[in-house]
Amino acid sequence: MSALFHRSCNATLPWADQGEGCYIIDRNGKRYLDACGGAAVSCLGHSDETVKAAIREQLEKLPFAHTGFFTTEAAESFADALAAHAPKGLDRVYPVSGGSEAVEAALKLARQYFLERGEPKRHRFIARRQSYHGNTLGALSTGGNAWRREPFAPLMIETSHISPCYEYRGREEGETPEVYGLRVADELEAELQRLGPETVIAFVAEPVVGATLGAVPSVPGYFKRVREICDRHGILLILDEVMCGMGRTGTLFACEQEGVVPDIATIAKGLGAGYQPVGAMLCSAQIHDTIAGGSGFFQHGHTYIGHPMAMAAAGAVLGRLTDGDVLPGVLSAGATLKGRLTDEFGQHPNVGDIRGRGLFQGVELVQDRETKAPFDPSLKLHKRVKSAAMEAGLMCYPMGGTIDGRQGDHILLAPPFIVTEDQVDELVGKLSTALEVALS
Ligand code: PMP
């Protein structure tokens, strides 16, 4: 038996051995087309020479220097470049090792900001049902996935959850998308009134919902209304772009498409592109300066923040993503992917919705297209899709429909930005085979 803890729950995992562009090759030589990057991680594929060279170079120079003692060229130039490319107003960069860590840092920074301003009564967060913000206790508290939260509920920080903006299931007949968006955004106002706005620190949301709903963007106007409500009550807006950020939706930050700038943003996954475990929290100069001019110290920190090799990788990835054609390429490849998915599954009796932005697309599976009734969760359809896809040589990211019983199983697609048209065809063909097997 393997000593590797997670293998005891998943003994059939193939052994990944090599990476080549959009493919992972196992030790038997079987090739898997990577259509999800694990969970939207591998945005540059598995053999990007620029990123590999940057890591090698840093390794030769200096693998590690603790941020309590030194700053490094790798960290400084990465932070400057990220701040320069981020939406105006996200001015300071706090590097971390991954997504949950970024969210954890954001929650603590927001609380400390209000403490420094003499507002200690602010102690709770508002987030959304059917959201995922990570697995550490703070991040899990803000996440709205009931199944993940349940065992740890007594250990959590106080967070209440409102509806996500989930047009496929939430918009009522006759309601325009705009009216629907304002209606669900106004749940934030109602929740603030219920709790007392002076007790709330921040509203936390993913601009495009990833793991729990499968690439669900909001409708136009939703985030603008959310921003207005936050400003009216002086609460912070934290946008979690761990999955949808770093170009995944066709702009470097997904919130650029909403015309809204958060007070704090979190990124990870695509930032390291899988070459290093790295994430970052970005915040406004105002938040930074309040703390810098107050206690002078953000009361937080992990050993590996600003790890030079992670910074070298993140700097190189950022350079690749902001280099001319890459992001427009995400939009056009995304349109191709959506078009092929629609051709193949648009009339499929068990596909209820195809949605997403850029190379972040979701396919929602339903038992009945007319009523949108999900499959019985006990069928574990998503697991069947995943194993049939792996069998067919395709990595995609199916998730279950058991979360709050409010949605069907869905398949998240997030291929590398270097995906070709032929590979999009291969992806859709293999997905079709996998669905046929899973539904038979
Ligand atoms: N936030 C979002 C939106 C995510 O999708 C994830 C990971 N799926 C996280 C946070 C947590 O990131 P990590 O797994 O790197 O801790």
Domain spans of the chain? 5-48+325-439, 52-321
Assigned token pair, 13:
């995992």
Q: Taking the model in full, what pTM does it have?
A: 0.98
Query: Cα of 26 to ligand 1 centre, how many Å?
Result: 26
Strand locations in 175-234, DSSP E?
200-205, 208-209, 216-217
277 Cα to the center of ligand 1, angstroms = 12
Beta strands in 344-400 (DSSP E): 351-357, 360-365, 394-395, 397-399
| CA 103 – ligand 1 centroid, Å | 8
Q: Is the pLDDT of residue 280 over 80?
A: yes
Judged by DSSP in three states, 168 sits in: helix
What's the token pair of residue 1? 């038996």
Distances (CA, A) of 125 to 100, 311, 326: 16, 30, 36
- The sheet with strand 410-413 has its strands ordered as 351-357, 360-365, 410-413, 397-399
Q: What percent of the chain has pLDDT over 70?
A: 98
Residue 29 confidence (pLDDT) = 98
Instruction: Please state, in angstroms and rounded to a whole number, the distance separating the CA atoms of residues 420 and 423.
Output: 5
**Was domain 5-48+325-439 assigned CATH 3.90.1150.10?**
yes
Average pLDDT of the segment spanning 110-134: 97
Total number of residues shown for the chain: 440
The CA angle 1-8-302, to the nearest 5 degrees, is 115
Which residues have any ligand 1 atom within 6 Å of their CB?
Answer: 39, 98-100, 103, 132-134, 206, 210-211, 240, 242-243, 268
Question: Which atom belonging to ligand 1 lies closest to the Cα atom of 103?
Answer: 10
Question: Residues 416, 43: contact at Cβ < 8 Å?
Answer: yes
CA distance 39 to 411: 11
Q: pLDDT tens for residues 309-364?
A: 999 999 999 999 999 899 999 999 999 999 999 999 999 999 999 999 999 999 99
Ligand 1: which residue has its CA nearest to atom 12?
99
Distance 132 CA to ligand 1 centre (A): 7
For residue 210, what pLDDT is reported?
Answer: 95
CB atoms within 10 A of CB 226: 26
Dihedral angle sign, alpha carbons of residues 87, 64, 98, 380: positive
Atom of ligand 1 nearest to the CA of 269: 15
Instruction: Quote the mean pLDDT of the chain.
Output: 96
Q: CA 396, CA 409: separation in Å to the nearest integer? A: 13
Mean pLDDT (whole number) for 59-86: 98
Task: Provide mean pLDDT across the span 410-422.
Answer: 98
What does the alpha-carbon distance between residue 75 and residue 65 come to, in Å, rounded to a whole number? 11
Confidence of residue 403 (pLDDT cuts 50, 70, 90): low
* Angle at which helices 222-233 and 177-195 cross, to 10°: 20
pLDDT exceeds cutoff 60 at 172 = yes
Q: What is the mean pLDDT of residues 202-214?
A: 96
The torsion of the CA quartet 5, 6, 12, 13, rounded to 10 degrees, works out to -120
CA-proximal residue: ligand 1, atom 1 (nearest): 133
CA of 242 relative to ligand 1 center, distance in Å: 6
Report the alpha-carbon distance of residue 34 to residue 52 in Å, rounded: 19
Provide CATH code, domain 52-321.
Answer: 3.40.640.10
List the one residue out of 110, 371, 356, 83 whose CA is nearest residue 243: 356
Burial 360-381 (b: 16+ CB within 10 A, else e): bbbbbbbbeeeeeebbeeebbb
Q: Which residue, by CA, sits nearest to atom 13 of ligand 1?
A: 99
**CA atoms of 181 and 91, how far apart (whole Å):** 29
pLDDT in the model for residue 401 = 64
Contacts of 292 (CB under 8 A, 6+ apart): none
- Percent of the chain residues topping a pLDDT of 90: 92
pLDDT score of 69: 97
- Please say if the pLDDT value at position 125 is more than 70: yes
